[in-house]
Amino acid sequence: MSLSEQQIEAARKIDQRVKQLRSVGADNDKLLALMHDLMPNFKILLDTAQPGQMDELCVRFEGFHYYAKLLERLAQGIA
């Protein structure tokens, strides 16, 4: 199933912010704190993605992939 324009745009916003923050040396804690306003975008993607779509977004957007992995590690740590 192909990605919608809304899904691509949400991932692109996350990707751009992560890349910008990492380029100025933000560590993971700072990154999480400064990404709070885009967390709803990520949640929408999780809720609407069909099988394989999150993987596709991770391949297309390096910063998005970084953020997704960071959240995955955080969730595993909480569990």
What is the C-alpha separation between 30 and 53, in angstroms, rounded? 27
pLDDT on residue 49:
94
Closest CA to 4 of 64, 59, 44, 36: 44
14-18, 26-30, 75-79: least confidently modelled range: 75-79
Instruction: Give residue-wise pLDDT tens across range 20-31.
Output: 999 999 999 999
What is the C-alpha separation between 38 and 24, in angstroms, rounded? 19
What is the C-alpha separation between 43 and 54, in angstroms, rounded? 11
Q: What's the whole-model pTM score?
A: 0.92
